[in-house]
Structure formats: structure tokens, C-alpha cells
Copies of this chain bind each other. A is one copy, B any other.
Amino acid sequence: MLIVKKFGGTSVADKEKIFNVANRCAEDYKAGHDVIVVLSAMGKQTDYLLDLAREINPKAPKRELDMLLTTGEQTSVALMAMALHALGVPAISLNAFQVDMRTNSTYGNAKIKRIDTDRINRELEMRKVVIITGFQGVNRYEDYTTLGRGGSDTTAVAIASALHADKCEIYTDVDGVYTADPRIVADASKMSEITYDEMLELASLGAGVLHNRSVEMAKKYGVPLVVRSSLNNSEGTVVKEEVKMEKLAVRGVVSDKNTARISVIGLKDIPGVAFKLFNHLARYDINVDIILQSIGRDGTKDISFTVSKDNVDEAIEIIERHRTGSLQYQKIDVEKSVAKVSIVGAGMNTHAGVAAKMFEALYDVGVNIKMISTSEIRVTVLIDDEYVEKAVKAVHDKFALSEHH
């Protein structure tokens, strides 16, 4: 079996942790498997390098930042190879040049285009554990690029896809994907399986286990993902195309406090005004989530939407800049103490009354709903952030999620 194993920075932060990872890899190797390991930079190394760069030049060219940052993963893969040798396991470390990990040219946020599998296959045939730098690539100018947030997960999936690996294990500090955050819901249960689409909804809603880009790529190429803990041997959660149909429409409930609501009140009701509003925001890379439009007074309309808390101020500034231009409105109203609570489940669209059941759960505990948004496999509500824990528990109970996994 060919297994790709990805470990993040905290899993290789010191000698003890490096050997913990090396031992896990050695086990699979000794069981006869072919093992590829993808690593991030050690612990806080990337932050340290960014601080160094900022000290020299706060506006450092992104090309040089990537040149600097890629030393981080190269350090961890070399040390991991040494650790495996210390355990008597043949191993070799490879960087982006050596596996010809080609990306486009967007420094700091590159997309993987292709991988040359020759070198990796040759090393595997010599029965070596192959340890590859995550997060980094090489562009057409023969320059280093980095993949941006969640980059090492994406590297692992891309390698698993290119080599047709039997599975791609993503190691994190949690056991797998839960029906709710166990810090909020004590009897949240771990799911043994989940679909790519469910995982995508959960990831973007703040479950924080896997980065969306890696799940999207896994879905596109059908790479079986496993989310496992680097701290124990628990089975983890398998992410794949289809899971055994369960009676359960709803798989999990998640919350996200990093959200704020902005309402633009009294917009002049002319065609294209909503387009203009969100286009202005998109040009500054501000992601808008739930959108709600209602009719205002005197032939105007109100548009409300949510953004992440760190984008609120910039979003307001952008809107105000256009008040007397393309956007004519009366006032802006902002609410920062809000949070999203969502239920997710691939079976949801064939089960009637799921949304109603969620609203009932919230009503039962006296939580007021401010906005609602739905997709085929998700229902999200916006509520006061002080009620998040209460709301998540109530919804989790209502759907009896702790009993069925």
C-alpha cells in the first residue's frame, strides 16, 4: 500500500516530536508499505522567518519572502530523514526542486500545476521513506513559490493524487472530525466517515481541521483522505466521495465566532446596486458570507451581509468611499457580537423539515435568529455570539448526534 502522511509544524516542533513522527512512519514502512511523508516547517519557524524579513524590509518582495520561507520545510525534512536513519530506516528528504513541484507564479499563494513523479518513484523502489517539503513549489522562472494557508495539506493531496496513493493521512491535534466541537458539546462523537462536500462545508465553517483547498483537490482527483491525530493511534475520520447512507440527515453542527454583520440601510433601489456593492468588496479580497436583502422605506432597499471580524473595518471604509458615487444609501449599521451556527449533512436535501427542526431547537432555548442562509447540505443561522454554546448544544441534542456515530 502507498501511504502519504502529512504532519504539521507542531508535530515536528522538537526532537521528541520529530521522533514520534519518525516512529509512526517506521511502523508503516516495516509493515511493508511504501511511505511518503509531507512536512511543514518546525513549530514557529515560519513566523520567526517572517519576523526576520519584516525587520529587514516590511515591504519585502514576495519572491524573496518565498525564497526565505522555503528554508523552513527544508530544515524539517532533512532532520526527519536523519531521525529515520537513527531508527535504522532508509529515508531521503526532497525539496520542491527535487520533486519538480510545478506551480503557477503567484508568490505567496501559488497553485500546484503538476509534479514529476520519477524521482519519488525511484526512491520508493529503493525502499526508502521519501520525505517531501510541504507548502512549497517552483514556478516557470525556476523560482521558489509558496502555496499559502493550508499549503502542506494541499502538497500532500497533490502528491497522493499524482502517485495514485491508497490513502492520504492528514495528522492534526484532534482525533478526527466530530459532530460538534468537543470543547462545547461534551458528548460530541467522532464520525468514521464523511463526504468531501460535508467536509468542505465543515472546513469553511470553522472546524479548522483541513484546509478547503486540499479537500477540493482531494474531491477533484478522488484521493481518499484520512484525518488522524498525531498524538494517539485512534482511527480518525475518512473523507471520501460517498459514505454509507445513514438514517441521519444531519452529520454535524459547527459554530464560528469570527463573523460580523454589516447592514447597508436605505440603498437607492436601482438595478445593479447589489452587484456594485459586492464587486467593490471583492476587489479588495473581502469574502462575504450570508447575504440578506429586504425592502426598505420609500422605495429603497436594505442589504445585510456577514464578513469575518478582521475585515469589518476595511469593508465599511470601502462602502463609505462610494456613498456619494455608485452606492447611494442612508446609513450603515454594524453588529460585531454575532456568530454563525450551522448544521451540515449530505442527506439533508432529501429530508424535509431539517431546517425547521433546527429553528425549533433554538426556539426551545430562547435563542433569537438574526439571519438564515442555506445550501443543499447546510443550514446556517446568525445569532448573538453569547448564546453560541447553548445553541450548539441544543441543536446537537435535537438531532441526537451523539448517538449515531
Q: In the complex, A405 Cα to B219 Cα: how many Å? A: 75
Q: In the complex, A77 Cα to B65 Cα: how many Å? A: 11
Residues of B within 8 A of A57 (CB): 82-83, 85-86
Binary interface profile of A, 64-77, with partner B (CB < 8 Å = 1, else 0)? 11011011001101
- Does A49 sit within 8 A of B, measured CB to CB? yes
Closest to A96 in B: B97
Taking a contact as CB atoms under 8 Å apart, the answer to whether A64 and B49 are in contact is no
Closest Cβ of chain B to A104, distance in Å, is 18
Taking a contact as CB atoms under 8 Å apart, the answer to whether A93 and B67 are in contact is yes
- Does A119 sit within 8 A of B, measured CB to CB? yes
Taking a contact as CB atoms under 8 Å apart, the answer to whether B98 and A56 are in contact is no
Residues of B within 8 A of A68 (CB): 74-75, 78-79, 82
The A1-34 residues at the B interface (CB cut-off 8 A) are 15, 18-19
- Does A61 sit within 8 A of B, measured CB to CB? yes
Residues of B within 8 A of A59 (CB): 85-86
Q: In the complex, A95 Cα to B70 Cα: how many Å? A: 12
Closest to A143 in B: B98
Q: In the complex, A126 Cα to B143 Cα: how many Å? A: 16
Residues of B within 8 A of A92 (CB): 63-64
Q: Report copies per complex.
A: 2
Closest to A71 in B: B71
Residues of B within 8 A of A85 (CB): 57, 59-61, 64
Q: Given known contacts A60-B82, A67-B78, A82-B60, is B142 in contact with A98 (CB within 8 Å)? A: yes
Taking a contact as CB atoms under 8 Å apart, the answer to whether A61 and B75 are in contact is no
Q: In the complex, A222 Cα to B65 Cα: how many Å? A: 37
Taking a contact as CB atoms under 8 Å apart, the answer to whether B142 and A119 are in contact is yes
Residues of B within 8 A of A77 (CB): 67
Taking a contact as CB atoms under 8 Å apart, the answer to whether A75 and B79 are in contact is no
Closest to A122 in B: B141
Closest to A97 in B: B97
Q: In the complex, A310 Cα to B142 Cα: how many Å? A: 44
Q: In the complex, A67 Cα to B79 Cα: how many Å? A: 9
Residues of B within 8 A of A64 (CB): 78, 81-82, 85, 92-93
Taking a contact as CB atoms under 8 Å apart, the answer to whether B15 and A55 are in contact is yes
Closest to A56 in B: B82
Q: Besides A15-B56, A67-B81, A68-B74, 12 other CB < 8 A contacts?
A: A53-B78, A56-B83, A59-B86, A61-B82, A64-B78, A64-B81, A64-B82, A64-B92, A64-B93, A68-B78, A74-B74, A98-B143
A-B pairs, 8 with minimum CB distance: A68-B78, A71-B71, A57-B82, A57-B86, A60-B82, A67-B78, A64-B81, A97-B97
25 contacts between A and B (CB under 8 A): A15-B55, A18-B56, A52-B75, A53-B78, A53-B79, A56-B79, A56-B82, A56-B86, A59-B86, A61-B82, A61-B85, A63-B92, A64-B81, A64-B85, A64-B93, A65-B82, A67-B77, A67-B78, A67-B95, A68-B74, A71-B71, A71-B78, A74-B74, A98-B143, A119-B142
